[in-house]
Chain A
């Protein structure tokens, strides 16, 4: 089975909105389907052949398993929150 979506390029982010959603879908599936997660980690190349709407950048990030690259693609807010943290020094808490 091949998963695809229409190409909808965003000139501001340089991303396809649909392929961005595909990255989210792949990660989401890895959270609910352990077999898929194991298959992806052992052979990402063959799993990614099932998706034909990913950009080169997204494919590389997924294959690398690099947390920060994936964060940048999936949800910029995620990185922002993590960098900001949600704590203050305990003396002020």
Chain B
């Protein structure tokens, strides 16, 4: 059974609420909320829930309560997506699944809703949101056009032993929760980060500087940047325990130009003529 109507063919909108309460909702996300009968929300800030209830619909289902101590996160995400999919059959009209940040960046439950929803014949529309990485780029005035960027999830980096290129800036997500796929409120031992540190040392010198970056999620809060030498990563455990950080590893040096001949061509009008053709 689907809930789409002639006026609105969408059954489930998947949106991101951004990082700073509800202030980074895009216009199209607002339109999705406006059109929805019910909203499933995964966002810990009570201001977001209040805003949706006051502005769009009282029917807001909070998914935060699905997290259980020690539970495999796959089971948690499965329950969340099942609840959303069930909701799509319960109301007359579209529903929205709203998650903090960007709904497709470092997020799992939205993917199962898309996959299973489409298998069930539901129309699922995904809209982009503002991710933590967007905010971090702004916080540190980072432009990936300058030296590129390599981005990994911390546990995945260790599991698949991705090769890091030390000449390319690295952004490593979820260092705080490295080496587990289970949810816990317990704090980390310093030794939790030893394997991760040693892995980084395969590619970077011991005294290489890293930064733990946390973007502000309230308008009156300040984004944070903690500088440390990677040999001291374990000592950052108390900071890593307090919040969600992205580890930024700047390159060890700026890579030199490798192809001087191509540079001449890049700057040449004749070369542009050679590689382009005008449409008639």
Contacts and interface: CB of A to CB of B under 8 A. Distances in A.
B46 A75 contact: yes
Interface string B130-141: 000000000000
B46 A74 contact: yes
Which one of B20, B47, B216 has the greatest number of beta carbons of chain A within 10 Å? B47
A65 B218 CA distance: 9
A84 B183 contact: yes
A79 B44 contact: yes
B153 A62 contact: no
A83 B46 contact: no
Contact of A31 (B44, B153, B219): B219
Given A65-B220, A79-B243, A84-B73, A92 B181 contact: yes
Contacts of A28: 21, 47, 50
For the residues of A in contact with B, the DSSP-based class is helix
Interface string B32-62: 0000000000111111001100000000000
Contacts, number: 133
Contact of A71 (B156, B176, B243): B243
A40 B219 CA distance: 10
A80 B51 CA distance: 21
B257 interface: no
Contacts of B106: 85-87
A23 to B, nearest CB: 10
A81 B45 CA distance: 10
Interface string A19-36: 000001011101100000
Interface residues of B, number: 51
25 contacts: A27-B218, A28-B47, A41-B219, A65-B222, A67-B218, A67-B223, A70-B218, A70-B220, A71-B243, A74-B46, A77-B44, A78-B217, A80-B44, A83-B185, A83-B244, A84-B183, A84-B184, A85-B73, A86-B107, A87-B107, A87-B174, A88-B74, A89-B181, A91-B159, A92-B181
Interface of B: 20-23, 42-47, 50-51, 64, 67, 73-74, 77, 99-100, 106-109, 111, 153, 155-156, 159-160, 173-174, 176-177, 181, 183-185, 214, 216-224, 241-244
Kindly list the 10 A-B residue pairs having the minimum CB-CB distance in the complex, ordered from nearest.
Answer: A78-B44, A89-B156, A82-B244, A87-B106, A68-B242, A30-B219, A65-B222, A37-B219, A84-B183, A67-B221
Given A68-B214, A90-B156, 17 more contacts: A27-B21, A27-B47, A27-B220, A31-B20, A41-B219, A67-B214, A67-B218, A71-B243, A75-B45, A81-B44, A82-B243, A84-B67, A85-B177, A85-B244, A87-B173, A89-B159, A89-B160
